[in-house]
């Protein structure tokens, strides 16, 4: 019977320039470790997919204890096929975060088979599927893979069974599955509510423990309705998040998504999160101030992005909003012919190092 499959710390430095009166100016080099309280701070990142992997890539360079709670609602492409075929949690988001936490360069786990019956599947997805078959559950499979790649940190699926994201629209239409919700252009104008099936799904117990023990919880960046909200639709996770005494940080997206977050400002994202979480509990909100050139955006006309997230005046008047130039100038764009959604992927990502510096600074 098949099982039910539903490195050393880096030392960072920064330089402080001190203008001295009546004497030579002084440059002082500070060791980040000497500035931090004893013991590793526990940071939990909530999300799924590329945005979360970018945050993990930056934060793993610091002496912190890292965990990531990842959505289990994906049902598209290779992940969707493997989810259905093996009745397992979709592996795609986990794969990206596994590569991010790995001690070495395991980027080849993102490579897709180009032909044959495996066309479109990534090596990493198949590896996770194999480990899922030989372990009691998906969490144990991921734990074993983390050891294999020498990762320091923990990846936690939000549930131990796959879930289905459901969007109910005002006109009565029901979109069942992330693969239908993400490309829909009716979410921003017609969404009545978004829910999970099964409604009685239980949280992965390890996710609750991570939230209870966290010193800092980072939410985002990522697709608002498909990557971030699903985590908070699990009641136990939502309640543990709100009850946590940890510092809670939201990282805003660089761009809006057509049909989902049209014309959104940073506070608009927070308003949606508040609606589903039940409270506005974020102590800090990090947003981008570095505009991506229009000439560069125009090179990717098929990408599911609309416009830069609006920066409104209230951001500058509220001390919890922190604006920094955190957009990456390196374009991450898959032109892999075997990737069924290569043309619509958002190629514009946050700069992992810059995001990490801001989070650690807080």
The stretch 198-210 carries a mean pLDDT of 97
**C-beta separation of 220 from 253 below 8 A:** yes
Structure confidence at residue 28 (pLDDT) = 40
Is the pLDDT at 346 greater than 90? The verdict is: no
Radius of gyration of the chain (CA): 21
The stretch 340-362 carries a mean pLDDT of 85
pTM (2 decimals)?
Answer: 0.88
User: Cα angle vertex 13, ends 7, 14, to 5°?
Assistant: 150
- State how far the Cα of 320 lies from the Cα of 329, in Å rounded to an integer: 26
What one-character-per-residue DSSP string does 242-301 give? HH--SEEEEE--SB--TTTSTT-BHHHHHHHHHHHHSS---SEEEEE--PPPHHHHTT-T
| Tokens 């959505």 found at | 71
DSSP state of 141: H
pLDDT-wise least confident of 47-61, 255-269, 336-350: 336-350
3-state SS class at 229? helix
Q: Which of 283, 301, 296, 292 is nearest to 362 (CA)?
A: 283
User: Residues of the chain with pLDDT > 70: what percent?
Assistant: 86
What one-character-per-residue DSSP string does 208-226 give? HHHHHH-SEEEE-SS-III
Structure confidence at residue 335 (pLDDT) = 53
Query: What is the CATH number that goes with domain 13-70+152-361?
Result: 3.40.50.10680
**C-beta separation of 351 from 319 below 8 A:** no
- State how far the Cα of 329 lies from the Cα of 243, in Å rounded to an integer: 37
Read off the tokens for 81: 């096929």
Task: Give kind and range of the element (H or E) at residue 196.
Answer: strand 191-197
Is the pLDDT at 51 greater than 80? The verdict is: yes
**C-beta separation of 322 from 358 below 8 A:** yes
- State how far the Cα of 35 lies from the Cα of 43, in Å rounded to an integer: 17
User: Residues of the chain with pLDDT > 90: what percent?
Assistant: 75
Task: Give kind and range of the element (H or E) at residue 51.
Answer: helix 50-59
- Give the chain's mean pLDDT: 88
Neighbouring-strand partners of residue 168: 174, 193
Per-residue pLDDT tens over the stretch 117-147: 999 899 999 999 999 999 989 999 999 999 9
């Amino acid at each position: 019977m098949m099982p039910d499959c539903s490195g050393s710390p880096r030392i960072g430095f920064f330089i402080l320039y001190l203008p001295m009166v009546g004497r030579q100016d002084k440059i002082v080099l500070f060791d980040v470790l000497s500035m931090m309280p004893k013991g590793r701070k526990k940071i939990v990142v909530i999300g799924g997919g590329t945005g979360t992997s970018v945050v993990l890539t930056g934060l793993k360079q610091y002496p912190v204890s890292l965990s990531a709670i990842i959505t289990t609602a994906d049902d598209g492409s290779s992940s969707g096929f493997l989810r259905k075929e093996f009745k397992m949690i979709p592996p795609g988001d986990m794969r990206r975060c596994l590569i991010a936490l790995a001690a070495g360069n395991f980027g080849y786990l993102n490579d897709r088979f180009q032909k044959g019956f495996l066309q479109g599947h990534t090596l990493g997805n198949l590896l996770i599927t194999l480990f899922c078959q030989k372990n009691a559950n998906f969490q144990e499979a991921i734990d074993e893979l983390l050891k294999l790649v020498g990762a320091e940190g923990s990846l936690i699926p939000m549930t131990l069974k796959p879930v289905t994201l459901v969007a109910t629209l005002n006109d009565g239409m029901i979109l069942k599955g992330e693969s239908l919700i993400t490309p829909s252009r009716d979410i921003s104008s017609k969404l009545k509510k978004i829910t999970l099936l099964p409604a009685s799904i239980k949280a992965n117990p390890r996710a609750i423990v991570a939230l209870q023990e966290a010193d800092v919880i980072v939410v985002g960046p990522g697709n608002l309705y498909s990557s971030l909200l699903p985590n908070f639709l699990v009641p136990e996770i939502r309640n543990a998040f709100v009850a946590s005494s940890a510092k809670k940080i939201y990282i805003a997206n660089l761009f809006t998504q057509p049909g989902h977050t049209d014309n959104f400002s940073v506070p608009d994202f927070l308003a949606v999160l508040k609606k589903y979480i039940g409270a506005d509990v974020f102590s800090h909100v990090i947003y981008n101030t570095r505009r991506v050139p229009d000439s560069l955006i125009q090179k990717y006309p098929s990408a599911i992005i609309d416009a830069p997230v609006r920066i409104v005046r209230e951001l500058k008047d509220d001390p919890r909003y922190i604006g920094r130039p955190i957009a990456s100038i390196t374009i991450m764009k898959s032109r892999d012919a075997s990737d069924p959604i290569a043309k619509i992927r958002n190629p514009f990502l946050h700069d992992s190092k810059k995001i990490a510096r801001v989070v650690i600074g807080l």
